[in-house]
Structure 1
Amino acid sequence: MRAVEGAGAARCDEFQVAFVEGGDEVRRKLVHAQEVSFERASAVRDFPSYRGQRNYPGLYYAATMDEHVGYESWLERDEAMALDFAVDVVGFASQPFWLFWSDGQRVRSHAPDFFARLKDGTGVVIDCRPSERIRSRDAGAFEATEQACDSVGWQYRLVAAYDPTWLSNVRWLAGYRHDRFADEAVGARLCEVFADGASLMDGAAEVGDPIAVLPVLFHQMWSHRLGTDLSQRLDAGAWAWDTAS
């Protein structure tokens, strides 16, 4: 495995993590922490909010786990929403652990922004930072985190931005992510109407009053029961289909 600037000469078994377990901070070698449910971990540091701060912390309601997840920037909020929307993600947490390693001169640390668990049981570690804001020190930490993930079979992803059209569409659908918009009878009828594909408004009107049907339809799209091309603007004429057909 290649050595990176941020990790120096660190070996795989020299990476350590610190995380919260039972209200206490626990620290152990990363190779011995692979089975920890980091997707349910408490954040290892606070999300401060104060007058005049330049970042935008807050809480995102994740329908995937039916709980709130913290974020510290709009980009992190967008990533939390993207993870919530992802069909293969079963859980995720923000600031799940501290990663420690030696760069050859001193011990360094980094708290990744998110850990996500996939349906197949594998893990994904995510950092969020716009490209123009990545300094050399940040790049070293991201490279070391990627090396640590490689050492235990996790994926690593550095998110700089999302396609604006895709993000706008998913943000709209996220407004209907809660199960209160689910309706089994209307949902089944929508799947029938969209079996061979139809435009959103035409399909909704065939099921019933669009005012009542569209919230269920958007929930179906958020839940991936109905599909559409999210790279295109989501409007009344957008084409959708039953994903099971």
Structure 2
Amino acid sequence: MREVKAWHLDEDGRLVCVAPQALWGVALEERQPPSDPVAYHGRQGKLSDWWSATTGTLVVCGSKRRTYVATELDFDPAVRRFAGEPVELHWEQGRVRHRWRPDFIALTREGTRQAVVLAPHRMGPQWRERLAALGEVAAQAGWSVCVRVVPHGVRRENLLLVADYRQPAVCEDAHERALLAAFRRPRPLAEGVTVSGVPDFLGFDHAYRLIWRRRLDIDWRQPLLPFSPVWATGRRR
């Protein structure tokens, strides 16, 4: 077994180095990275933060690929809170020294913690070594490990579209009820907005917000357009 040390910020913002067992119960999903993330050659895009509707805070994302996965985590109703790169793992394997940060630590609605990592473009020896080390840490810290594929294509475009409406906004209860009633059966987005009686300049925005909140649903394999079918889910979030 590897001897792994974990660096993170404690509750008072001090940098600490601990053994994996000491991570049990630590709310890393509420912490910032132990130091500022640095972009390196080969990363897609630039450093950015994601404003999370789930937590109402900024989540550090060191690349565009991480931002896309942050969107998925934010949209996932099973995730209560998550943070970007809040822990850095150090270990040696043979003569090689390794230093690596899992992409996200998430707390689920069930109260369990996940180390969330992005699936790489190619799963070579370095990836296997990192995943093995993370698995050992997770076993001692009481985490699970979740490998997420970066969303792409139509699903990603749809997610980014409805994510633009994730910020809190006032929607009159009467308008929300009218839209949910209009989409009680699947019908084109524009038609449902018209049938609801909600003015178009409000209806489309509210419909996108209801899709983000999973009160309405779509076929995620098809682009979300005015003629795309939309229907009510019966869920509350």
If the TM-score is normalised by the length of the shorter chain, which range does it land in? Answer: 0.7 to 0.9
CA–CA separation in structure 2 for the residues paired with 1:49 and 1:145: 22
Deviations 1:173-211 (A, max 9, x none): 011111126443311221122223322111111122222
Q: Residues 104-123 of structure 1: matches in 2 within 5 Å? A: 108-123=98-113
* Contact residue 97 and residue 112 of structure 1 kept, 8 A: yes
Deviations 1:25-79 (A, max 9, x none): 12222223221111111111213479xx975101111111111112111101101
Hey, what does 1:202 align to over in structure 2? Answer: 191
- Count, aligned residues: 233
CA–CA separation in structure 1 for the residues paired with 2:99 and 2:68: 25
* Contact residue 191 and residue 242 of structure 1 kept, 8 A: yes
* Contact residue 45 and residue 63 of structure 2 kept, 8 A: yes
Measured on the aligned residues, the alpha-carbon RMSD in Å equals 2.6
Hey, what does 2:133 align to over in structure 1? Answer: 144
Summarize the Cα distance change of 1:54–1:173 in structure 2 as closer, same or farther, 3 Å threshold: closer
Q: Which runs of 5+ in 1 are unaligned?
A: 1-8
Q: Residues 176-187 of structure 1: matches in 2 within 5 Å? A: 176-180=165-169, 182-187=171-176
* One of 210, 216, 224 as aligned partner of 2:206: 216
Q: Which runs of 5+ in 2 are unaligned?
A: none
Hey, what does 1:5 align to over in structure 2? Answer: none
Summarize the Cα distance change of 1:146–1:183 in structure 2 as closer, same or farther, 3 Å threshold: farther
Report whether the alignment pairs 1:64 with 2:54. Answer: yes
Summarize the Cα distance change of 1:138–1:184 in structure 2 as closer, same or farther, 3 Å threshold: same
* Contact residue 95 and residue 114 of structure 1 kept, 8 A: yes
* Contact residue 130 and residue 159 of structure 1 kept, 8 A: no
CA positional deviation for 1:223: 0.7
* Contact residue 181 and residue 216 of structure 1 kept, 8 A: no
Deviations 1:111-160 (A, max 9, x none): 1111111100111212235414x553343112321332244442223345
Hey, what does 1:83 align to over in structure 2? Answer: 73
Hey, what does 2:229 align to over in structure 1? Answer: 239
Q: Normalised by the size of structure 2, how large is the TM-score?
A: 0.87
Summarize the Cα distance change of 1:216–1:54 in structure 2 as closer, same or farther, 3 Å threshold: closer
* Contact residue 183 and residue 216 of structure 1 kept, 8 A: no
Q: Normalised by the size of structure 1, how large is the TM-score?
A: 0.84
Report whether the alignment pairs 1:170 with 2:166. Answer: no
Secondary structure, aligned partner of 1:109: strand
